[in-house]
Amino acid sequence: MDTALSVQGLRVWRGRSEIVRSVDLTIPSGQVVALLGANGAGKTTLIEGMLGLLPMKADKLDLFGQDVRGSQPWEMVRNGLVVVPQDRYLFTDMSVQENLELASKRSGRSQEQVFELDALYDLFPRLAERKGQFAGTLSGGERSMLAIARGLALQPKVLVLDEPSLGLAPIVVDLIMSTIERIAHSGLPILLVEQNVHQTLAMASWGYVIESGAVTASDSSEALLRSDAILSGYFAVDVESVEGGS
């Protein structure tokens, strides 16, 4: 099986504190992998370390077999590792269309655009209706959609989504999660960081649980979903919905 992203012994620091401690993580080609963990577990730190936004060390950081350790964040994007950050970081005084066009140009892959603007608007019809609207005037759900669409406009080979449903109403969460599932069906490998355990594991093949910066469980989604010990330990709030849904 081809490996899209392979991480071994990843350590990431914030200031003097080592927040992420020797994490191993693999994303096989064409699959969704879940990264689960409570608030403050270190998920965002792990992502920012991989991107080179924070001081990090790793025994291995391979993107499709290529060692990308030491790359600058913009080089990571050019290499195909695209992160949709939790804080979205949209250009709020630019329109939806301009945000997407800018990303598309920055991808540096004008010859191999897998995610054309039309395809993005097909995925997110709500954004098509708001093409000319300033990003700063969008609702929370629409901002999350635009952040994902902009990530796709960067023509990722691996997409990392950091809590795309954070703070959104359940109906909007459903819409966003089903759209992520459609994106996954295109074959794009995805690392989905979420606290929405049930929906996330439903589309992921594999999941990692991170606690205090270390992986404490790594298993198939089916096994994690059945594992009450893990779910009740880390995600007590979600256990009922898991049980209710089975």
Residue type, 145: M
Interface residues for ligand ATP in 69-98 (CB under 6 A)? Answer: 86
Considering only 1, 39, 112, 246, the residue that binds ligand ATP (CB under 6 A) is 39
Whose CA is closest to 141, among 177, 100, 181? 177
**Residue 204: count of CB within 10 angstroms of its CB:** 24
What is the closest distance, in whole angstroms, from the C-beta atom of residue 116 to ligand ATP in the complex? 32
SS3 sequence of 137-182: HCCHHHHHHHHHHHHHHCCCCEEEEECCCCCCCHHHHHHHHHHHHH
Query: Would you state the structure tokens that stand for residue 174, as one six-digit string?
Result: 């459903």
Q: Which is nearer to ligand ATP, 87 or 93 (CB)?
A: 87
Stretch that binds ligand ATP, among 14-22, 93-101, 115-123, 150-158 (CB under 6 A): 14-22
Q: Is 165 in the site for ligand ATP (CB under 6 A)?
A: no
Q: Which is nearer to ligand ATP, 9 or 187 (CB)?
A: 9
Q: Is 43 in the site for ligand ATP (CB under 6 A)?
A: yes
What is the closest distance, in whole angstroms, from the C-beta atom of residue 152 to ligand ATP in the complex? 22
Q: Which is nearer to ligand ATP, 37 or 151 (CB)?
A: 37
Q: Is 224 in the site for ligand ATP (CB under 6 A)?
A: no
Whose CA is closest to 134, among 122, 146, 150? 146
Q: Is 197 in the site for ligand ATP (CB under 6 A)?
A: no
Considering only 32, 42, 82, 150, the residue that binds ligand ATP (CB under 6 A) is 42
What is the closest distance, in whole angstroms, from the C-beta atom of residue 17 to ligand ATP in the complex? 6
Considering only 8, 13, 14, 233, the residue that binds ligand ATP (CB under 6 A) is 14
Q: Is 37 in the site for ligand ATP (CB under 6 A)?
A: yes
Q: Is 215 in the site for ligand ATP (CB under 6 A)?
A: no
The binding site for ligand ATP (CB under 6 A) comprises 14-15, 19, 37, 39-45, 86
